[in-house]
Chain A
Amino acid sequence: MDFEFIIRYIPLYIEAAKLTLTLASAGIALSIVVGFVCSLILYKRVPVLSWLVNAYIELSRNTPLLIQLFFLYFGLPKLGISISSVGCAIIGLTFQGGSYMEEAFRAGLESVPTIQSESGASLGLTGLQVFRYVILPQAISTCIPAFCANIIFLIKETSVFSVVALEDLMFVAKDLIGIYYKTDEALFMLVIAYLIILLPISVFCTWLERRVRYAGFGN
């Protein structure tokens, strides 16, 4: 193992990790928004929209992110729609993540027994208040484990961003292997980089899951 080489290229990995993390957080934040809106549409059974949301979920859950990126980055420009690499990455991750987040949120919302909203209504709360003060807090605490798993899953998915010419961690590692043939060093740093990013998140999630495991609500 050539440690000088490793030290020399640490800044490159840090840059790449920053890019990976920025894109991942943008994508995850947007997928939470998309997921939340979609789950509300399905929960409230909005007529036409829920049909559309269902179609979106099936499409997104049953295709790999890699292929979505290929289509966005290489296919769409032929229709005259050019999206930058960063744009493709974020759109792709949101498209993929939105449906996963939706499933998590909806499972949470549906796990709250109807008696809860009925009790809320009988106390004289409006529909919005019932949702805001009764349903939502319970739903969120139920869906946290699935939610955490999704976040880890989405960060891992970012490893394919190099196909749309983004200099993320995989790209740097591949480059170093290609140029200097320092396979071990490049791969070692790649593993370490992902460990540094994902291990704390994983530990935090395990902790959080334990924290939010309340007794059942009115079951």
Chain B
Amino acid sequence: MQDLGINVLFQGNNFLRLCLGLWVTLRIALISMGLSIPLGLLVGILMNVPQKLVKGICRVYLEIVRIMPQLVLLFLVYFGMSKNFGINLQGETAAVIVFTFWGTAEIGDLIRSALISIPKHQYESGYGLGLTKMQVYVYVIVPQIFRRMLPVAINLLTRMIKTTSLVVLIGVVEVVKVGKQIIDASRYTTPTAALWIYGVIFLMYFVICYVFSKVAGRLEKNLKY
């Protein structure tokens, strides 16, 4: 019987290597997400500032993120930086920069709409109690936004995990790259390796994102008030 390509997964530490590769993409997504939340909060608050100039800048920023494919942004940062400023970014750093740039805009926009959705009397009661503007934000508004934002933020995280698969194209050694290496190494011994390796990577992404989106769905139901 012909060799079933699935064996290639269990040869040596191939499966472990794939998992480590997946961890690289996950790490990029998690770090970017961690950075995006505080920055997004700031941008979201800025977007509600009455000054026209600040609003305009935020608007342009949002449009750029909305229109440019993430891969283009990755190329811009990865190749552009090294050419123009002589800064040789590692692929991973470039990826974190781009995904933070993207995530900040998304979270900022969500926060902006969440801020609008908070009833006015919440602010007014805060002021009425003699809190300063800063205190109102920290103790009254942000905790409420946090609850509304949690499911949406998790959804964004799954999108970010999916999009981090692009980093293989700027030379980061992550799960797809490791997969390619394994396929190349076993080209003669198991020619059907590609099917299994890419299939497994496909499922790995599915499992991770599925879990996160289920958690988000559950939270959305539970946090309703």
Contact = CB atoms under 8 A, between A and B. Distances in A.
A62 interface: yes
Contacts of B197: 75
Nearest to A195: B67
Interface stretch (A29-37, A109-117, A182-190, A207-215): A182-190
Given A156-B69, A202-B63, A66 B176 contact: yes
Contact of A177 (B5, B71, B79): B79
Contacts of A138: none
B213 A68 contact: no
Contacts of B63: 202
A163 B196 CA distance: 19
A138 B175 CA distance: 45
Interface in B190-225: 191-199, 201-202, 205-206, 209-210, 213
A83 interface: no
Residues of B contacting A: mostly: helix
A191 B202 contact: no
Interface in A66-102: 66-68, 70-71, 74-79
Contact of B202 (A63, A158, A194): A63
A78 B205 contact: no
Contacts of B209: 61-63
Residues of A contacting B: mostly: helix
A70 B176 contact: yes
B83 interface: yes
Nearest to B183: A74
Nearest to A181: B83
A174 B75 CA distance: 9
A71 B203 CA distance: 11
B100 interface: no
Contacts of A49: none
Contacts of B76: 187, 191
Contact of A67 (B195, B196, B201, B213): B201
Given A58-B206, A184-B83, 16 more contacts: A58-B210, A61-B213, A64-B205, A71-B199, A75-B196, A75-B197, A75-B199, A79-B195, A156-B69, A159-B69, A159-B70, A183-B83, A187-B75, A187-B76, A198-B67, A199-B67
Interface of A: 58-59, 61-64, 66-68, 70-71, 74-79, 152, 156-160, 162-163, 170, 173-174, 177, 183-184, 187, 190-191, 194-195, 198-199, 202
Closest CB pairs A-B (n = 6): A62-B209, A159-B69, A78-B195, A75-B198, A64-B162, A156-B69
